Amino acid sequence: MWGLTFPIQKLVLTEDISPFGYNAVRFWIATVLSWAMFRKSDWRRGTVLGIIMGIAYATQTWGLTLTTATKSGFITSLYIVIVPFFAYLIEREKPTIPQLIGFVGALVGMYLLSGGIRGYNFGDFLTTICGIAYALHVVLITKYSRETDELSLLTPQFLTVALLNTIFSLVSSNNPWVFSMNALYVATFTALTATILAIIIQAKYQKVVGNNVTALIFVGEPVFALLSSMLILHERLNLLQTIGALLMILSIAVGILQNASHEITEKGSAERT
């Protein structure tokens, strides 16, 4: 779902649309729908998650205006290898050896997939802040969903992101609310799938598999983004990008198969007992 958002948002964000305005509309829709569907709110935890997510979206959008899309995509994806740091700091969750191998492989794969980066600038710095915020958001979702009803984290989180992006859009653009119907359709689609449904799945199941396995699974996001871009935008990969994508898929397998095998062994032992 996250991977699919890249090509469909690119189709509408090439029009005369403020990226901050688009994010604001997307999260206002998500706020209204989540409140109408669930009527549950943990304002303390949800607002913290919303502030972190809002910072991630803002720095990514601002950074993208100052650097290339390739560098932005690569630097943002580094949140995957930052997750283990926050996982240990907040929840004392240590990565296994196969997971560490998976993270290294994913890092190399992402570098090849993006075509590499040259010259670190202020836009890259902002995008680095985005990656750090994303990593912290992943770990805090795991932590908070273990402490409260995961559905109660949705509305406050989305509302906070919507408010922050509304403020940023008013400050950064003269016409932040110029929208086509196509943009509204895409904002509604991403609000339902990549926002509400994706966050529900995160909150419900990250606490089951753990932060590090979750981060390795998320390595698939840029791969799916490229596959969907090939189908929708007719983009193509060169040889190095193909090798990078395959290496990332292999890294996912290396990092999570041991975890799955361990769970199957534990389940079999419990059944025999």
All structural domains of the chain with their residue ranges: 2-272
Per-residue CA distances from 62 to 29, 57, 69, 168, 172 (Å): 22, 9, 12, 10, 10
If pLDDT is split at 50, 70 and 90, which confidence band does 147 have? Answer: very high
Phi, psi of 272 (to 5 degrees): -65, -35
pLDDT attached to residue 15: 62
Residues 209-234 have pLDDT tens digits of: 888 888 888 877 777 877 887 788 77
For 2-23, the pLDDT digits (tens) are 888 877 877 776 565 778 888 8
CA-CA distance, 151 to 129, in Å (whole number)? 27
- Stretch (H or E) spanning 51: helix 43-64
Longest Cα pair distance anywhere in the chain, in angstroms? 68
DSSP-assigned letter for residue 96: P
Provide the whole-model pTM. Answer: 0.81
